[in-house]
Amino acid sequence: MASLLDAKDSDTLLEPSAGDGHLIDAVKRIVPNIPVTAYELHPKHADNLRKKFPNGSGVDIFERDTILCPDLDLRENFGYKFAKIIANPPYGGWQDHERRACLKKRFSGFYVRETYTLFLLRCLRLLEDQGKLVFIIPDTFLYLHLHSPLRRLIVEEYTFESIDVFKSSLFPGVSFGYAKLCIIAISARNASPEHSFRIRFLDALSEFECAAQTEENSKLVFQKDILKAHSYTIPVSPNQEALHESSLQGTTMGDIAECVTGFYSGRDKEFLRRASDQVKRSNGYEIVDQELVEPHPSSVTNVLEGIESKRSFIPVLKGGGYNFIKPNLWFVDWSRESVAHYRTDKKARFQNPSFYFREGVGFPMVTSTRPTAALIQDALFDQSIVGIFPKTEVSVEFLLAYCNSKPFWVSLKAINPSANNSARYVLRTPVFLPDAEVQAKITQRTKELIYVLQNGDSASEVLMKEILHSITVYVKKMADEKALEPTALRAAAQL
Ligand SMILES: C[S@@+](CC[C@H](N)C(=O)[O-])C[C@H]1O[C@@H](n2cnc3c(N)ncnc32)[C@H](O)[C@@H]1O
């Protein structure tokens, strides 16, 4: 990344999310005297940076919010900008409502719920004419519909110099929700009409510096062709023949969410209890004593180790049959001893525990005629459920609505007509993502629906229909524009 910057001692450098200062070190190894301006929000990191780069080291440290701080606004507006910018910005940071409202005003027309694109946008505006920035970000930037306004801005007003795409697992020990990352170099100048750049697809760290550019591992892209692609998508694999075809590369559920199978006790009759004798297919199970139920397991300290108090039964989402909200019908013994047993027992499956008690969407493994996705909230989910957990780009509420919609159902059945919906199939299902505004509306209406369902209001059916209908409407619109990947298009034709 540092070498891609082409920095000189006479340049000025901004590191907008300086962290431990590794990127600053890397640039200074190449250009020791470059003056550096570093921003870092976190007081502890800022403190460490001040120790690492004391007065006189040529690194000025500002403990501030890069996105909203007024001093960077002044630079942006009065032309006191940077020649070079290098960053590994934060990904997927949570923005509260007040901040989001402010960001929407500031970055109107752009998707503001993802921090890495906000950093990119802010930094593009802070680049001086002919300046250059190098960022490492998730490769979702290259194709997600939500980021199309930012891609368009870059294509129209800046110049792509290079993009390197690689698996995040190339960095040993780093594990997070993104399958792939990219290093992207952009210059602040208008691209000439014939400008082209290379996208490289790298499989090993050693290839970063020495990979010969071949047709197998790289692709030459004409910047102006990106404008012709639907949503201004950029190819993310070497086998996408031409750019217009790459534009049909659709988003799948696996791009936007983790899809995992849930827990199994090994001996359900012994460890599970039902809420009442009205629960379907629950013959032979004991009825739970509500005095023994902990209704908010996610607030219990070290809950993955089990619960010590006598309230040690917790709600577990199991099976389908309900849309959006399923009442707590099943409870599982989550005492310390039982959890220790699940962790070691051969028949039990204590699988994917990092997802337990997280908010997500539960989709039943076996469904025959219609989708029934329910919110997972303050509960475990068992192996009859595929747990779907948004990575960064979408809200849980939007996903919940989407997974109950006809477009999701027909796409899922298009790739897997059987009644069995394993996590593998759910991951591969094409997803039609609307623009940020429609997504925000669906999120808001779904929040209302969740409230209404949890508080027993009778108006829920109308609201549910309205939400599901709005999804079909925007998908049909996308299909009419014929801007869909073939499987998705076939699926949409059935709506
Ligand atoms: C992935 S780390 C960067 C690592 C860094 N590039 C290095 O070389 O060590 C992201 C950093 O951004 C900081 N950060 C998050 N939000 C920020 C904001 N709004 N303004 C400034 N820094 C922020 C985090 O505290 C974190 O240290």
What is the per-residue pLDDT across 185-206, written as a single tens digit (0 to 9) for each? 999 999 999 999 999 988 888 8
DSSP-assigned letter for residue 288: P
The predicted pLDDT at position 126 comes to: 98
Residues 116 and 217 in one domain: yes
Choose the residue to mutate in 14, 17, 66, 171 for probing ligand 1, maximizing ligand atoms within 8 Å of C-beta. 17
Rounded to whole angstroms, the Cα distance separating 157 from 151 reads 10
Residues 137 and 155 in one domain: yes
Domain end call among 224, 249, 274? 249
The stretch 289-297 carries a mean pLDDT of: 96
The predicted pLDDT at position 380 comes to: 96
Residues 354 and 466 in one domain: yes
**Rounded alpha-carbon distances, angstroms, from residue 239 to 116, 142, 244:** 27, 16, 13
Choose the residue to mutate in 41, 85, 136 for probing ligand 1, maximizing ligand atoms within 8 Å of C-beta. 41
Scored b (16 or more CB within 10 A) or e, 149-185 reads: bbbebbbeebbbbbbbbbebeeeeeeeeebebbbbbb
| Bridge partners for 25 per DSSP | none
The predicted pLDDT at position 251 comes to: 80
The predicted pLDDT at position 459 comes to: 77
Distance 378 CA to ligand 1 centre (A): 30
Which residue has a Cα nearest atom 4 of ligand 1?
19
Q: Determine the atom of ligand 1 nearest the C-alpha atom of 69.
A: 20
Q: Which residue has the higher pLDDT, 214 or 60?
A: 60
Q: Determine the atom of ligand 1 nearest the C-alpha atom of 22.
A: 8
Which residue has a Cα nearest atom 26 of ligand 1?
19
Residue 175 has pLDDT above 60, yes or no: no
The stretch 252-281 carries a mean pLDDT of: 93
CATH of the domain at 82: 3.40.50.150
Residues 261 and 227 in one domain: no
Which residue has a Cα nearest atom 15 of ligand 1?
90
The stretch 283-310 carries a mean pLDDT of: 95
Residues 158 and 298 in one domain: no
Least confident of 89-103, 276-290, 411-425, 474-488: 474-488
Domain end call among 228, 249, 270? 249
DSSP string for 76-134:
HHHT--EEEEEE----S----HHHHHHHHHHTTTS--S-HHHHHHHHHHHTEEEEEEEE
Q: Which residues line ligand 1 (CB under 6 A)?
A: 17-23, 39-42, 45, 65-67, 88, 90, 93
Which residue has a Cα nearest atom 9 of ligand 1?
20
Q: Determine the atom of ligand 1 nearest the C-alpha atom of 19.
A: 27
Residues 244 and 261 in one domain: no
**Pick from 216, 217, 235, 236: which is nearest to 226 by CA?**
235
Residues 21 and 85 in one domain: yes
Residues 185 and 223 in one domain: yes
Which residue has a Cα nearest atom 13 of ligand 1?
17
Given a contact cutoff of 8 angstroms between Cβ atoms, the answer to whether 4 and 54 are in contact is no
DSSP-assigned letter for residue 456: T
Structural domain of residue 13, as residue ranges? 3-249
Residues 244 and 262 in one domain: no
Q: Determine the atom of ligand 1 nearest the C-alpha atom of 88.
A: 6
Domain end call among 183, 216, 249? 249
Residues 177 and 279 in one domain: no
Distance 468 CA to ligand 1 centre (A): 39
Q: Determine the atom of ligand 1 nearest the C-alpha atom of 42.
A: 25
Among 105-119, 167-181, 197-211, top mean pLDDT goes to 105-119
Q: Which residue has the higher pLDDT, 223 or 245?
A: 223
The model's pLDDT over 424-456, given as tens digits with 9 standing for 90+, comes to 888 888 888 888 889 999 999 999 999 999 887
Residues 208 and 74 in one domain: yes
Work out how many domains the chain is built from and give that number.
Answer: 2
pTM across the whole model: 0.57
Which residue has a Cα nearest atom 2 of ligand 1?
19
Rounded to whole angstroms, the Cα distance separating 199 from 197 reads 7
Residues 211 and 272 in one domain: no
Q: Determine the atom of ligand 1 nearest the C-alpha atom of 23.
A: 8
